[in-house]
Amino acid sequence: MDIFTQIPLRIIKEQELIRGPVAWDEAKKVVGLTIDRSNGSVSFSGDQRDIINRLVAQYERLFGRASHEVCKEAVQDLIAEMAPEEVPSSLKQEA
Amino acid sequence: MFGLFGETKKITEKLYEQNLELAVKNKTLSLLENLYQTSVLTLMPEDMASKITEIIRKDLNLEFAGVLMFEKKTDSLASIAFSTSERLTKTLTAAGFFLKDIKIANVSKNEFFKQAIYNKTENNTNNLQEIWEELIPKEYLAKIKEGSHIKTILLYPLIKGEEANGVLLLGLNRDYTTLNAFEKASIKSCINAITLLLDKAYLYKDLQASYEITKKAYALEKKANEELANLDKVKDQFLMTTQHNLRTPLTSMMGYSDLLLTGSFGKQNKKTTEVIKKFQTLSGGMIKMVNDFLDMAQFQLGKEVISLKPGVELEPILDEIITELQFKADSKSLSLKLEKPEKIFKIKADREKIKAALFNIVDNGIKYTQKGGVLVEVKNHDTVKIVVADTGIGIPKDKVDKIFSQMFERGEAAQKMAAIGSGVGLYLSGQIIKSHNGKVWAESGGEGKGSTFYVELPIDRETPATIK
């Protein structure tokens, strides 16, 4: 599984720990992101970074600034592996 | 309408923050539960530390977690467990070493570790050189940082009692500043649990070590006891052999000489009779000496030599001794008297042994007296006291207290007077009297002033003395 598919899953599962199953429902509303909770599969239709940014924004819109920090912390180890230009802007440390 | 939406959003955000706090606490609890489960499964410190570091590294998503124990004597920290992430393991394997193998020396001179060990406070750094500066080359450290994405290293002291006996080293892939208050508190909770778990494991290890030592000591003691028992058997065998090989022929010789004297092999002339009598005297002396040595050996081995029986009359014993030694006293023109008591005293005694003990004392008096004689008296207080007074050479002051407690101690004058004397007679008398729950001692005005020997024996109350 590549890093881009791991990122949404890691974010959704972390949000689920805090807010429960609603985290999956909100993720399904993100345009371009298709997820299957039963088998943990993720697919993108469009730019992966934009879709991930939208997912982070979706949670922030609903749950506030704290949720944005949770998203960033959840994927710290994954984005460490990525080249800076590949990292979705919402997940950069200064974002 | 818009105001209501804003209010709902605020409530949702607040709720989220509270949920976040709960989620962190939940994670902490889950981690603690995990650590507890591990502690139940293992008891050895190294094994436990290995499992602990693996759990916290995975649960807290760390690059590494290590437990290092402090050795005060060498002022160093030695790793007992190090768990590393997959990518850090790859980097280290390529570099050809593992963090577990690196010992931190001169802790008191290393500012980073010194704070944790000596000030017992936590510490953190973004600079790997602060930790492994002189131990890992700079280029390797740079590769490690790049390959594993370590951003911050946290150091926590493991405090036991008043001292830090180790540290927990955690490598984070993010800045320490990005940790929220709950996460920091969560890590601290783990540190306390880890300290307790390791403490328990070390206690168990110490207990097991001391159990092993006790077990070994017990085995050694058992072996030593077995060897002693064997030695005892050998000594017993030796005594039996000595008894058989030495005493039996001597007794036979005495028997045959008796037969010679009584004319069983024909009438002997006067000269031969005198020779046989001398032969008998010498043989008798030798039998006595052999008996003394055998008894002494038995006492030395702590064997039950004495068999006490109640109702033993003292007077007949003293009578026999006087009769047996009368000839010896007469031959030296010495007086030998027994002042008989008015009562008949009965004691609990081994008749033959107590007789031998008293015989030795009276015989000793005769042996070391040239003029005058030996007087034996029996006195009675709470005990029965036998007093043997002689007018002999006396006992030097420095020897008088040791005369019954040391073997082979004979004064110069005694050696001049009697060349024959094993030096065990009085020692043996002392041992026999002690075995009768009695006391024995000597008094003397010094050399040339005679000696008085006192023997005190408990009266047998069950068979009281009778008036003659």
User: B87–A65: do the CB atoms touch at under 8 Å?
Assistant: no
- Residue type for position B139: E
Mean residue pLDDT of chain B comes to 84
Q: What is the pLDDT of residue B456?
A: 93
pLDDT at position B161 over 90: no
pTM above 0.90, yes or no: no
Does A19 touch chain B if contact means CB atoms closer than 8 Å? yes
pLDDT at A7: 95
**Contact yes or no for A18 and B20 at CB 8 A:** yes
Q: Does domain B309-467 have CATH number 2.40.50.140?
A: no
Q: What ipTM score was computed for the predicted complex, to two decimals?
A: 0.85
Chain A residue numbers touching B20 (CB-CB < 8 A): 18, 66, 70
For residue B63, the chain A residues in CB contact (below 8 A) are 77
pLDDT of the residue at B415: 57
pLDDT digits (tens, 9 = 90+) for B254-293: 888 888 888 888 888 888 888 888 888 788 778 877 777 7
* Chain B nearest CA to A30, separation (Å): 19
CA nearest to A14 within chain B: B23
CA distance B411 to B374: 20
Say if the Cβ atoms of A64 and B9 lie within 8 Å.
yes
CA distance to partner chain B, nearest, from residue A84 (Å): 13
Chain A residues closer than 8 Å to B30 by CB: none
The answer, yes or no, to whether residue B9 has pLDDT greater than 80, is yes
Q: Which among B19, B85, B180 has CB closest to A18?
A: B19
For the domain bounded by B2-209, which CATH number is listed?
3.30.450.40
pLDDT digits (tens, 9 = 90+) for B389-443: 999 988 888 888 888 876 655 556 555 555 455 567 788 888 889 888 999 999 9
Question: A19 and B16: CB-CB below 8 Å?
Answer: yes
- Taking an 8 Å cut-off on Cβ atoms, the answer to whether A63 and B12 are in contact is yes
- Record: contact A80-B178, CB cut-off 8 A: no
The β-bridge relationship of strands B373-380 and B383-390 is antiparallel
Residue B159 distance to chain A (closest CA, Å) = 30
**Closest Cα in chain B, distance from residue A25 (Å):** 16
